Chain A
Amino acid sequence: MFGFFKKSPVSKAAAPEVSAGWMARLRSGLRSSRQKLQQGLGGLFGGRLDDAWFETLEEALISADVGSKASAALIAELKQEARHQHIDKPEDLKPLLKKALVHLLAPLECPLASNEHRPHIILFVGVNGAGKTTTIGKLAQHLMQQGHSVLLAAGDTFRAAAVAQLAAWGQRNNVPVITQEKGDSAAVIFDAIQAARARGIDVVLADTAGRLPTQLHLMEEIRKVKRVVTKADATAPHEILLVLDANTGQNALAQVRAFDDALGLTGLIVTKLDGTARGGVVAAIAGERPIPIRFIGVGEALEDLHPFNASEFVDALIE
């Protein structure tokens, strides 16, 4: 616990290519969560460091969806550090709080690598309405800008018009979409992998139907999808990404746990961070299942998908 603050914070080198545009968007999106934190912290930075102060800080963190457990852990760190460094003014503690958060989130910084296999097969999973299909549309664009050829597999065969939705994204990006009139997602995705191989495509993005982890039969179905993908290509799926809605509270943790146990997740994508939602739950996830965050979604436009950067994220949250 203690050596924690001595470790160097994070890769400072990651930022330069990031345009001011999307940072502004992330900041404006996170503005409200920041306001929230600062409302809590407002009277905080000033005044005396005592238990009541720490309790208010804990409440502020909880209000940002950090969760009671992760908040308590952060507070414990801060308390110990304050005692050790003889800090008695709350404002001196602010950089420490930032550092602690960055330290917690830094291991999650790990961009998507999509050139090891060809085709590189990426499976998208998540609960209903998390933003899987939209994210696939954005990611397709992102990958094409990097010069990859992309193919989409319309694996959500359950929800009404989900196939049409993906097809529309495909049309917009001029990307081929593999669909089937009837059939289950495993079959569609299997087909897509064959097609990608035949056409020499670089990346396959496979959509699946939204499912709640409590629906055991649907969790079983997604396991089958994974097995079938492995049948089509022994090294695949190369990525299994869980799409998380940033609006989700502590249930995000349960989602990560359930999907990770069922499938072995390789990454997360956090969507809808442009709203009033906070990234707080990410801290809770980092504490329990440090699965890399591949991207964050900060807007509705095609280009609003960005690699996750811990220190910027924390900056935007509690500047």
Chain B
Amino acid sequence: MLDNLTERLSGVIKTLRGQARLSESNIQDALREVRLALLEADVALPVVKDFIQEVREQALGQAVLSSLTPGQAFIGVVHQSLTKLMGEQGAGLNLATQPPAVILMAGLQGSGKTTSSGKLAKLLKEQLKKKVLLVSCDVYRPAAIEQLHVLAQSLGVDWFPSEAGQVPESIAAAALDHARRHFYDVLIVDTAGRLAIDEEMMREIQQLHRTLNPVETLFVVDAMQGQDAVNTARAFGEALPLTGVILTKLDGDARGGAALSVRHVTGKPVKFIGVGEKLTGLEPFHPERMASRILGMGDVLSLIEEAHRTVDRAEAEKLAHKIKKGQGFDLEDFKAQIAQMKKAGGLGAMMDKLPSQLTRGLQSNPSVDDRSLARIEGIINSMTPAERRNPELLKASRKRRIAAGAGVQVQEVNRLLSQFEQMQKMMKMLSRGGLGKMMRGMKGLMPGLQ
């Protein structure tokens, strides 16, 4: 997700490695690179300047003297400052009020307010067991109200009807009244997208805020937003007492600048990040992890969590047991592994979370997509159980049959088999405890990653 920035910084850090110590002159280049990288990632200029200043001061201070190597010290300082900039701790929603707790959504057009409203409703309903009411005050965009209605229906969340002819303020008042009477825990109010310079519309949302007196006023920001994120965030922050930020569309590529700037400008925590248009895609924001990721340390924590959630424990233990006992790793196991990989969000999602030094060579390869996993699965499915257990059986005519069955060329079957052989070797190494050796050999061994 933030590959470019990660890569750039990885490069910078490398040039610092091997230096005897940090000085004004030798961090100058590194700082310039950091600055350019941040700008390229759409972090707003004033934010970048503050950040660079902070890193410079920190890097030349005491922390450096007491550390192991200058490179490590520099990474540490950049990481710390980055984490700090993004708001140190992941903040949750504050719903501590007399119900209904009102959540007001605000933001530019197309930033993802309605989708986020739906996602938030789902999260509150399923994870916090709240009784949620959704209402749309977007009387301007055609079918905006209908969009929220459809979302509410598919979520099984209650929806307060409104119509395009109504005044937003009276919709809000009526919804609030309804929520009170029917003992809802939370009322989520979706609003029309508006430009910060549109005074009339900004007055309207201020009026809405007064009517609703929301406990949370969330500013929805598109993660792809450019330098202007600073201005819109400031304008919304001045017009409304924001309590937090939702950063959407973070599943896009190479971005994150907005994440850095918005927090810095509004001073409000990023409470959630939106990933994907599926209604499950609202995740808590972890500044610490985001900082690690930007620095090329990889979001390994998320990966581990994800793995815990999706990887079948029993399956994994069975395989581990088998390997320990020295039994062969066969194509059946290979297939099971691929299935697990798919469950964990596919290769792309996993690669995203690995440190960029590891994945740089791999990621540029277009064959690293989930389709290649599906093909491999298809090929293995076209084999008989005996063939899967004992791949040595596979000679030319069997390979032709398998290729025909899977709808691929014979070469692809061959490629799979050689990958599998390497994988087998790796497993043998693993069983002999050669983990380090295995990691070194990793690059060529993942399926589809040649």
The interface size of chain A toward B, counting residues with CB under 8 Å, comes to 53
> Assuming the A-B contacts A161-B146, A164-B143, A276-B197, are A63 and B227 also in contact, with contact meaning beta carbons closer than 8 angstroms in the complex?
yes
Which of A213, A216, A249 meets B227, CB within 8 Å? Answer: A249
> Assuming the A-B contacts A275-B196, A275-B197, are A247 and B222 also in contact, with contact meaning beta carbons closer than 8 angstroms in the complex?
yes
The interface size of chain B toward A, counting residues with CB under 8 Å, comes to 53
Which of A33, A213, A254 has its CB near the most chain B CB atoms (within 10 A)? A254
* Alpha-carbon distance between A254 and B254 when the two chains are bound, in angstroms: 9
> Assuming the A-B contacts A161-B146, A164-B146, A247-B108, are A127 and B39 also in contact, with contact meaning beta carbons closer than 8 angstroms in the complex?
no
User: What distance in Å separates the Cβ of A250 from its nearest Cβ neighbour in chain B?
Assistant: 6
* Alpha-carbon distance between A278 and B146 when the two chains are bound, in angstroms: 32
User: What distance in Å separates the Cβ of A274 from its nearest Cβ neighbour in chain B?
Assistant: 7
Residue of A nearest to B369 (CB): A216
User: What distance in Å separates the Cβ of B138 from its nearest Cβ neighbour in chain A?
Assistant: 11
Taken residue by residue from 150 to 162, chain B's Cβ proximity to chain A (1 for < 8 Å, 0 otherwise) reads as 1100100000000
Residues from chain A with Cβ under 8 Å of B112 in the complex:
128-129
User: What distance in Å separates the Cβ of A261 from its nearest Cβ neighbour in chain B?
Assistant: 10
Mark out the residues of chain B between 224 and 250 whose CB falls within 8 Å of any chain A CB in the assembled complex. 224-229, 231-232, 235, 249
Residues from chain A with Cβ under 8 Å of B44 in the complex:
63
A38 located at the interface, meaning its Cβ lies under 8 Å from any Cβ of chain B in the complex:
no
A160 located at the interface, meaning its Cβ lies under 8 Å from any Cβ of chain B in the complex:
yes
A80 located at the interface, meaning its Cβ lies under 8 Å from any Cβ of chain B in the complex:
no
Residues from chain A with Cβ under 8 Å of B149 in the complex:
161
Residue of A nearest to B41 (CB): A250
Residues from chain A with Cβ under 8 Å of B190 in the complex:
none
How many Cβ-Cβ contacts under 8 Å join chain A to chain B? 159
A277 located at the interface, meaning its Cβ lies under 8 Å from any Cβ of chain B in the complex:
yes
> Assuming the A-B contacts A62-B39, A167-B143, A276-B195, are A247 and B228 also in contact, with contact meaning beta carbons closer than 8 angstroms in the complex?
yes
B226 touches A65 (CB 8 A): yes
A216 touches B255 (CB 8 A): no
B225 touches A249 (CB 8 A): yes
Residue of A nearest to B110 (CB): A129
Residue of A nearest to B45 (CB): A63
A295 located at the interface, meaning its Cβ lies under 8 Å from any Cβ of chain B in the complex:
no
B42 located at the interface, meaning its Cβ lies under 8 Å from any Cβ of chain A in the complex:
yes
B228 touches A276 (CB 8 A): yes
A169 located at the interface, meaning its Cβ lies under 8 Å from any Cβ of chain B in the complex:
yes
Residues from chain B with Cβ under 8 Å of A213 in the complex:
252-253
> Assuming the A-B contacts A63-B227, A64-B227, A251-B42, are A129 and B142 also in contact, with contact meaning beta carbons closer than 8 angstroms in the complex?
no
Residues from chain B with Cβ under 8 Å of A130 in the complex:
110
Which of B110, B232, B251 meets A276, CB within 8 Å? Answer: B232
B147 located at the interface, meaning its Cβ lies under 8 Å from any Cβ of chain A in the complex:
yes
* Alpha-carbon distance between A300 and B194 when the two chains are bound, in angstroms: 10
B109 located at the interface, meaning its Cβ lies under 8 Å from any Cβ of chain A in the complex:
yes
A249 touches B249 (CB 8 A): no
B142 touches A245 (CB 8 A): no
Which of B141, B224, B227, B276 meets A251, CB within 8 Å? Answer: B224
B277 touches A159 (CB 8 A): yes
* Alpha-carbon distance between A278 and B228 when the two chains are bound, in angstroms: 8
* Alpha-carbon distance between A128 and B248 when the two chains are bound, in angstroms: 10
B257 located at the interface, meaning its Cβ lies under 8 Å from any Cβ of chain A in the complex:
yes
A115 located at the interface, meaning its Cβ lies under 8 Å from any Cβ of chain B in the complex:
no
A68 touches B36 (CB 8 A): yes
B377 located at the interface, meaning its Cβ lies under 8 Å from any Cβ of chain A in the complex:
no
Which of B42, B222, B228 meets A250, CB within 8 Å? Answer: B42
A160 touches B154 (CB 8 A): yes
Residues from chain A with Cβ under 8 Å of B143 in the complex:
161-162, 164-165, 167-168
* Alpha-carbon distance between A41 and B151 when the two chains are bound, in angstroms: 47
A266 located at the interface, meaning its Cβ lies under 8 Å from any Cβ of chain B in the complex:
no
A214 touches B197 (CB 8 A): no
Which of A127, A165, A276 meets B224, CB within 8 Å? Answer: A127
User: What distance in Å separates the Cβ of A243 from its nearest Cβ neighbour in chain B?
Assistant: 10
* Alpha-carbon distance between A69 and B4 when the two chains are bound, in angstroms: 14
Which of B154, B226, B231, B252 meets A127, CB within 8 Å? Answer: B252
Which of A59, A161, A248 meets B225, CB within 8 Å? Answer: A248
A212 located at the interface, meaning its Cβ lies under 8 Å from any Cβ of chain B in the complex:
yes
Mark out the residues of chain A between 11 and 43 whose CB falls within 8 Å of any chain B CB in the assembled complex. 32-33, 36
> Assuming the A-B contacts A32-B197, A129-B222, A247-B108, are A212 and B227 also in contact, with contact meaning beta carbons closer than 8 angstroms in the complex?
no
Residues from chain B with Cβ under 8 Å of A274 in the complex:
195
A68 touches B39 (CB 8 A): yes
* Alpha-carbon distance between A63 and B228 when the two chains are bound, in angstroms: 8
A146 located at the interface, meaning its Cβ lies under 8 Å from any Cβ of chain B in the complex:
no
A4 located at the interface, meaning its Cβ lies under 8 Å from any Cβ of chain B in the complex:
no
